[in-house]
Each structure stands twice: as C-alpha cells, then as structure tokens.
Amino acid sequence: MTVDLPKDVEDYLQEQVSAGTCSDPAELVNDALRCLRDQQHKPFQPSPELEAWLLESAEQPATPLVKEDFQGIRSRVQARHSSDQK
C-alpha cells in the first residue's frame, strides 16, 4: 500500500527516525495506527470520581448550563492538564 503524506508529516517521520524513536518511518506509522486502533476499541471506563459526581448530581435539581459553567469546566480541565504535564 502506498500513502501520500503531506510534507510536514513526512518531515516529522524523518525527524523521528533521525532521533532514534523508530528504525524507519513505516515502523512509526504502524505503531501510531495500532495505538489509534486500540484506543478506538477500548471501552470507556468512568473513573470512581466521575461515577460519584454523576450519582450526586442525579439527586439534585437540574439547571441549564450557562457560559460561565463551561468556562469553569474548561479552567478546571486546563489546570488539571497543566499539573499532569509537570
């Protein structure tokens, strides 16, 4: 099979080979596609925290979400993502 890649992707593949990430571009592409396949077939597993939050929320009256709610959610996720990368 032959796949045409954009120049930036081809350059990235060559950089990864040069850096020793993989022995050749095909190896990296195969690994990336297997990873994508495995991720897509993996069932969603809610965390215990999410389950607890959902159960607690189900007991409370529902209110419509507003712009500020989404901003708060975004801020919390970004803060958590920042701390995970340290």
User: Which two tokens mark 56?
Assistant: 């607690």
Neighbours of 13 (CB within 10 A): 20
User: Does residue 11 lie in a domain region?
Assistant: yes
If phi > 0 it is left, if psi is from -120 to 50 it is alpha, else beta; for residue 55 that is alpha
Does residue 31 contact residue 22 with C-beta atoms inside 8 Å? yes
Give the pTM: 0.48
Would you state the pLDDT for residue 86? Answer: 63
Domain assignment of residue 18, yes or no: yes
Asked if 29 contacts 35 with a C-beta cutoff of 8 angstroms, the reply is no
Residue 29 within any structural domain of the chain: yes
pLDDT per 10-residue tile (average), the chain, 86 residues: 92 94 92 92 89 90 90 93 75
Task: Please report the pLDDT score of residue 15 as a whole number.
Answer: 94
The confidence score (pLDDT) of residue 43 equals 84
Q: Give domain status of residue 77, yes or no.
A: no
Radius of gyration (C-alpha) of the chain in whole angstroms: 21
Does residue 69 sit within a domain?
no
* Residue 86 is assigned to a structural domain of this protein: no
- Is residue 23 domain-resident? yes
Q: Residue 6: which domain range?
A: 1-59
- Counting the structural domains of the chain, the total is 1
Query: CA-to-CA distance for 52 and 46, rounded, in angstroms?
Result: 10
Per-residue confidence (pLDDT) for residue 31, from 0 to 100: 94
